Amino acid sequence: MIKSAVLFILALICGIAISCSSGNGNEDPPITGERYKVPLGDPFILYYNNMYYAYGTQSDDGIVVYTSSDLKTWEKQPKLALSKDDSYADRWFWAPEIYYIKEKNKFFMYYSADEHICVAVSDSPLGPFKQDEKKPMYEGFGIDNSLFIDDDGKAYISFVRSVDGTGTPGNSIWVAELENDLKTIKTETLTPGLHVTEAWENVWPRVTEAPFIVKHAGKYYMTYSANSYESPLYGVGYAIADSPMGPWIKYEKNPVLQKNDGLQGVGHSAMFTDKEGKLRIVFHAHFSNTSIHPRLMYVKDVTFTSDAIPVMQITGDLITPETIGWSLYQ
């Protein structure tokens, strides 16, 4: 009897030890009910059917997705929106943007993998997103691809290449037209968009990235980020054009976001319209003033002045999205 009890206790101890050490470091800790800031770099928010979906850079295995009904409290979904098994490449899944294309009744995800721009398709905003062909949209270096569809239905892609229009090395933004499949770049239309020209953009290193285009009052507004995302002076500016293809004229009072609201490393923004029809901007910032990772997601408002050429303004109170349960930064 005593021997059996001893064996039982030993088995119990071994079981506990195994259960505590069997994780691979990527498994989610158990839900605790505590609240944590949402750890998403390069965030993007889609509003669809009364629900918000947030995607971003986080997992080594693909693209994660969170859901929310109010922009404040978020739930991480148990499955990846995009798995590396369904994509070109098997590493560096960055900066996803997701759009519902009504004419095709499909959701399109634009993202980069292994520093190549890609597109995948799904029937649901939760995924699974898959590539018809596991190949990039463009053969050379490319990241931060962003879709813009104009009022006439014409589609454009903006993304980052490792050289500007003069041949000078450094991450720079380019724009091109897309075929009707929204997957194929018309390479003959590839046109330089923005590169480093201003002092605030050139702190370290030579980078302009994260393009995103909206249209307002007949003008095209491209937000972009400059400097390395690792720099506390990472920031957001914008430029204006009469066409999605440019030429783009930078706002003279850039940056419009930089070290705001007590944050640093602020950038890689995208815009979306919320359930009330209000234009918002989502972006990430460093975890703290002493740590970069994990980068955290934040939201503010976007407004335009009534000037002849409206000025874009980032306004309103800072929304700090939170998730209930485990945290990557515990």
> What is the tens place of the pLDDT at every residue in 241-275?
999 999 999 999 999 999 999 999 999 999 999 99
CA distances from 232 to 4, 259, 311 (A): 61, 7, 25
pLDDT confidence of 324, banded at 50, 70, 90? confident
Is residue 71 helix, strand or coil? Answer: coil
CA distances from 164 to 93, 135, 248 (A): 24, 24, 14
* pLDDT above 80 for 22: no
Looking at the domain assignment, is residue 265 inside a domain? yes
Average pLDDT over residues 270-288: 98
* pLDDT above 90 for 154: yes
Query: What does the alpha-carbon distance between residue 137 and residue 139 come to, in Å, rounded to a whole number?
Result: 7
- Quote the pLDDT of residue 325: 72
Per-chain mean pLDDT for the chain: 91
CA distances from 258 to 58, 246, 269 (A): 22, 25, 12
Average pLDDT over residues 84-99: 98
- Quote the pLDDT of residue 205: 86
Run of H or E residues at 222: strand 219-226
0.85 exceeded by pTM: yes
Average pLDDT over residues 218-226: 98
Looking at the domain assignment, is residue 129 inside a domain? yes
111 or 330, which is more confident:
111
Residues 6+ apart with CB under 8 A from 275: 47, 50
Looking at the domain assignment, is residue 236 inside a domain? yes
Looking at the domain assignment, is residue 30 inside a domain? no
Average pLDDT over residues 108-124: 98
Looking at the domain assignment, is residue 17 inside a domain? no
Strand order in the sheet with 143-149: 143-149, 155-163, 169-177, 191-194
Least confident of 71-80, 198-207, 314-323: 198-207
For residue 300, what are the β-bridge partners? 281
- CA nearest to 165, candidates 136, 133, 143, 197: 197
CA distances from 311 to 27, 216, 251, 257, 304 (A): 45, 10, 8, 14, 5
Looking at the domain assignment, is residue 44 inside a domain? yes
Angle at the Cα of 37 from the Cα atoms of 32 and 41, rounded to 5 degrees: 125
Q: Report whether the peptide linkage leading into residue 211 is cis, meaning its omega lies within 30 degrees of zero.
A: no
- Quote the pLDDT of residue 32: 59
- Quote the pLDDT of residue 25: 35
**Residue numbers of the domain that contains 189:** 36-324
* pLDDT above 90 for 17: no
Average pLDDT over residues 285-309: 97
Looking at the domain assignment, is residue 54 inside a domain? yes
Percent of the chain with pLDDT over 70: 88
Query: What does the alpha-carbon distance between residue 321 and residue 324 come to, in Å, rounded to a whole number?
Result: 10
pLDDT confidence of 320, banded at 50, 70, 90? very high
Looking at the domain assignment, is residue 329 inside a domain? no
- Quote the pLDDT of residue 34: 81
Percent of the chain with pLDDT over 90: 85
pLDDT confidence of 4, banded at 50, 70, 90? very low
* pLDDT above 90 for 21: no
Is residue 236 helix, strand or coil? Answer: strand
CATH of the domain at 41: 2.115.10.20
Residues 6+ apart with CB under 8 A from 49: none
